[in-house]
Structure 1
Amino acid sequence: MARTSRTDATPSRASRRAQVPAGPVRRPEAVLFDRDGTLCVDLPYNGDPRRVRPTATAAAALARLRSAGVPTAVVSNQSGVGRGLITMDQVEAVNRRLGELLGGLGPVLVCPHLPADGCGCRKPAPGLLVAAAARLGVPPERCAVVGDIGADMAAALAVRARGVLVPTPVTRAEEVAAAPETATDLLAAVELLLTGPAPAAPRQPQPQPWPWPRAVPA
C-alpha cells in the first residue's frame, strides 16, 4: 500500500532545450514528480532534512506550474523504510523540508516496500500514480510524470500518462533511448509539458527486468 506523507503544493520562467518526437500538443491537467534525483539531489536513504538540496531548476519548475494553475504531486519509492534504514517519520521530515525549500509540493505519496515485496505501488508499478491522481481529482491518463529513471517512465506508460525523463548521471543510456520525451532539466520539462509536443502514441520502453533496475537503490 502506498503511504501518504503530508506536504503541500506547486511554479515561472523560460524554456530550455528538450528532445521530443513530433506529435500533437497534449497539456496535462496535473504533473506527478519523482523525488530523489528529480526534485532533490539523490542521497540514498537520506532521513536527515538538513541534507536536502533541491535540484537546480526545481523551484522555478514548480513555480511555473503554480502560475499556470497546474496541480502537482510527488510519487517516491522509499525502500529504505522496508530495509529498516530510515523511518516513515524521517521520510516525512525530508518531504516537509523539501516542500519548504520549493514553496510546496502537493500531496506526497511514498512506497515503503522492498523491490522483492511485489507490491502494486513501487514504481514501475502504477499504484503510486493512480493514488496521486485520485488525490488531485485528475484521471491518471491526463497527468504527466517527470522523473530521472526508466521506472518513472514505465509507471507513466502503465497508466497512459505523458512521461518526460530528465536524465542524471545515474540514468542508463537505454532508459534515455526508451523515454517518450526527454528534457535537460526540470524547467525545460515543465515548459515542454505546457507548450510543447507530445508523441501521438507513447513508445514502448525497451525490455527490462521488472522492477526496472536503477544504478542507485531507492
Structure 2
Amino acid sequence: MGMKYQAVFVDRDGTIGGNGHFVHPKEFRPYSFSEEAIGMLRASGLRLFAFTNQHRISRGEAAEEDFYEEFAKLGFEQAYICPHEPNQGCDCHKPAPGMLLRAAREHALDLTRCIVIGDVGSTDLLAAAAVGATKILVRTGWGEGSIGRYRNSWAQTEPDYVADDLLDAALWVVEQNNTRL
C-alpha cells in the first residue's frame, strides 16, 4: 500500500473561497466546506500547498505577508504566490509552471505524483499539465465557465476529474490515494 500521491496544490480564489476575483486576505472568506476539505487532505498524509496568482501585490494593494498568514491559518504547509502582473514575463504566473517547479525543488517532489486543484482551466490546469501533475477542476469560482464557454482556452488538456467543489475534490483525492498502486 504505497501512497500514490505526494502533495496537493490548491488555488485560492474561486477554489478555497471568494468569487474568483481578487479579495484581500483580511476580507477573504473560505467556502463553508473548505476547512473540512483542507483538514481531510492534511489528515490523509499528503503535503498541502497553496499556489496563487496575486498581481495586486505588485500594485501595492496587498502584501505578500497577508497571504502567507492567511494560508498558514487555513492549514497549508506552504504557499507559493506570484505577485507579478501577467505581462511581466515571469516564470511563476500561471499558466507558467514556475511555482510548481519551485515547490518541487524545495520539497523534493515528483510533480507527476502531485495534484493541482483549481477553478481556471487556462491557468491552474495548464500549469499542472505542463509538469504532468494530476488535474482537478472545481465548478466553483470560474469553474463552470472553464468547462463551458472558455473551454477552448485550454482545449489541449483534459481534467482528470471535474469536482463540484473543493470538498468533492478532496474526497476524490483521498479515495484515489487509498487505492492500491
Q: What interval of TM-score do these two structures reach, taking the shorter chain for normalisation? A: 0.7 to 0.9
Residues 55 and 27 of structure 1, relative CA distance in 2, 3 Å threshold? farther
Quick check: 1:153 aligned with 2:133? no
Counterpart position of 1:118: 89
What TM-score, normalized to structure 1? Answer: 0.68
Counterpart position of 1:81: 57
Counterpart position of 1:29: 6
Deviation at 1:182, TM superposition (A): 0.6
1:156 aligned partner, one-letter code: A
Deviation at 1:85, TM superposition (A): 4.3
Query: How many residue pairs end up in the alignment?
Result: 166
- Structure 2 stretches of 5 or more lacking a match? none
1:37-91, CA deviations, whole angstroms, 9 ceiling, x for partnerless residues?
Answer: 1122147443351x12012321111111221111111111011123x1424xx33
Residues 133 and 55 of structure 1, relative CA distance in 2, 3 Å threshold? farther
Contact kept? 2:71, 2:79, Cα under 8 Å: no
Counterpart position of 1:165: 137
Which secondary structure does the structure 1 equivalent of 2:38 belong to?
A: helix
Which secondary structure does the structure 2 equivalent of 1:28 belong to?
A: coil
1:161-191, CA deviations, whole angstroms, 9 ceiling, x for partnerless residues?
Answer: 0010002253321449843321011121112
Which secondary structure does the structure 2 equivalent of 1:187 belong to?
A: helix
Separation of aligned partners in 1, 2:91 and 2:85: 11
Deviation at 1:135, TM superposition (A): 2.9
Match of 1:144 among 112, 115, 130: 115
Deviation at 1:141, TM superposition (A): 1.4
Match of 2:47 among 46, 65, 71: 71
- Structure 1 stretches of 5 or more lacking a match? 1-25, 198-218
Which secondary structure does the structure 1 equivalent of 2:171 belong to?
A: helix
What TM-score, normalized to structure 2? Answer: 0.81
Contact kept? 1:37, 1:168, Cα under 8 Å: yes
Counterpart position of 1:92: 65
Separation of aligned partners in 2, 1:142 and 1:165: 17
Task: Using the TM superposition, name which of 122-131 and 176-185 deviates more.
Answer: 176-185
Quick check: 1:181 aligned with 2:161? yes
Separation of aligned partners in 2, 1:79 and 1:128: 14
Which secondary structure does the structure 2 equivalent of 1:73 belong to?
A: strand
Contact kept? 2:19, 2:141, Cα under 8 Å: no
Counterpart position of 2:105: 134
2:13 aligned partner, one-letter code: D
Residues 40 and 92 of structure 1, relative CA distance in 2, 3 Å threshold? farther
> Aligned-pair RMSD on alpha carbons?
2.3
Deviation at 1:154, TM superposition (A): 0.5
Residues 136 and 59 of structure 1, relative CA distance in 2, 3 Å threshold? farther
1:163 aligned partner, one-letter code: K
Separation of aligned partners in 2, 1:43 and 1:92: 21
